[in-house]
């Protein structure tokens, strides 16, 4: 059982080398295969998933509107904005008949857009998610090939770095399956009885 991690480390090295070598030589199918093999070596808790849709959701730089009533952060793309007619006194003071407002998704309160606290959510780079977008597809034509090479290179390094982060996490948290038995033996040797 203790040989499991060294065996996996050897396979990690082989497939990492193969993926980089295939990328350098333009063998993109072999490159994808080597990356998928790397992922296959990881236990399911550490294995990144391949989903362009989920990746786009996680990396979208959402603008969040904070409700002045309940302090909930609302995705601004999902809130409804509308023009509200101002009361007579506010109309006279501001010189405007309407004001843009939005309704909080959580509490339903109307918030003035002009005084709303807006937060731009941005992932700090580098980021290592457990989700990788699908590899780009190749299109016919010279322009398609050129764009594919650029897109594939970006995808490759994103995928490899995400897989490497999970491999590192797996190595850090690795516990041999028979480690409990060794702990028990050590306790017997130290104290003379099982604790």
pLDDT tens across 44-79, in order?
999 999 999 988 878 877 788 999 889 988 888 888
Residue pLDDT, tens place only, 129-160: 899 999 998 877 666 777 899 999 999 999 99
- With H, G, I as helix, E, B as strand and everything else as coil, classify residue 116: coil
pLDDT confidence bin for 94, thresholds 50/70/90: confident
- Arithmetic mean of pLDDT over the chain: 83
Distances (CA, A) of 73 to 63, 148, 156: 9, 38, 34
Which range is least confidently modeled, 149-153, 172-176, 182-186? 182-186
Arithmetic mean of pLDDT, 106-121? 88
Domain edges within the chain: 4-59+129-173, 63-120
Give the model's pLDDT for residue 56: 84
């Amino acid at each position: 059982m203790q040989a499991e991690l060294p065996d996996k480390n050897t396979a990690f090295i082989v497939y990492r080398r193969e993926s980089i070598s295939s990328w350098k030589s333009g063998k993109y199918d072999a490159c994808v295969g080597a990356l998928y093999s790397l992922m296959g070596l990881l236990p399911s808790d550490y294995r990144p998933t391949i989903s362009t849709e989920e990746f786009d959701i996680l990396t979208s730089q959402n603008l969040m509107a904070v409700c002045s009533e309940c302090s909930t952060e609302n995705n601004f793309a999902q809130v409804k904005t509308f023009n509200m007619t101002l009361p007579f006194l506010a109309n006279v003071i501001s010189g405007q008949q309407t004001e843009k407002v939005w309704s909080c998704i959580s509490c339903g309160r109307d918030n003035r857009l002009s005084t709303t606290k807006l937060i731009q959510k941005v992932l700090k780079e580098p980021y290592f998610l457990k989700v990788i977008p699908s590899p780009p597809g190749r299109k016919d034509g010279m322009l398609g090939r050129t764009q594919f090479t650029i897109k594939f290179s970006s995808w490759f390094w994103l995928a490899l770095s995400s897989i490497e982060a999970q491999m590192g996490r797996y190595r850090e948290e690795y516990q041999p399956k028979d480690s409990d038995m060794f702990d028990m033996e050590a306790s017997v040797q130290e104290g003379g009885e099982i604790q």
